[in-house]
Amino acid sequence: MNINEFINIFNDSELVDNKIVIKSKLYEAVEFVKNNYSYDILKEIIAIDNKDFGIELIYHLYTTVDEEDLFLSITVKNEIVSIVDLFPSAQADENEIYDLFGINFIGNKNLKRLYMPEDWEGFPLRKDYVQDEMRLAWNDSDNV
């Protein structure tokens, strides 16, 4: 794909070692690369908790036509627009990130606790996560 053309259109974006960092308009950017550069697979969404800088989401797209990878990065605080109607596979990733990082994806109606039980408190993959004291009580029991 032509990265310069992309950066011209989304003018708050920049190229930082192999990934394009955008500040806003995530949905439009993904839609743009899907329609114009035939990026047809969303391989995964990677979430990283950068402590005070917020949570970074990396959208990893791939095109089977040109056989190229694209990493789109955006930093969010608590919520971001969902791209589930562009790529249905995002449902899986968004639900995982909702469960483990506590980020709300606006527009995705199917979000729920996935890996953790419904009554679990906290988001395990955040850096400031403290283990659930209540559950640890199970391990202290002397049933043996």
Query: Does 65 help bind another protein (rule: CB under 8 A)?
Result: no
Q: Which is nearer to another protein, 23 or 113 (CB)?
A: 113
Write down the least CB distance from residue 95 to another protein, Å: 9
Query: Does 91 help bind another protein (rule: CB under 8 A)?
Result: yes
Which residues contact residue 52 at a Cβ distance below 8 angstroms, ignoring those fewer than 6 apart?
A: none
Q: Which is nearer to another protein, 8 or 38 (CB)?
A: 38
What values do phi and psi take at 93, rounded to 5? -65, -45
Q: How far is CA 144 from CA 24, 135, 139, 141, in A?
A: 55, 17, 11, 8
Classify each residue of 71-93 as buried b or exposed e, where b means 16 or more C-beta atoms within 10 Å of its C-beta: bbbbebeeebbbbbeebeebbeb
Residue in this structure with the two tokens 């394009």, named with its chain if needed: 20
**48 forms bridges with which residues in the sheet?**
56
Write down the least CB distance from residue 4 to another protein, Å: 23
Write down the least CB distance from residue 28 to another protein, Å: 19
Which residues of the shown chain bind another protein in the complex (CB under 8 A)?
Answer: 17, 19, 40-44, 46-49, 58, 64, 67, 87-89, 91-92, 96, 99-100, 114-117, 119-120, 124-125, 129, 131-132, 134-135, 137-139, 141, 143-144
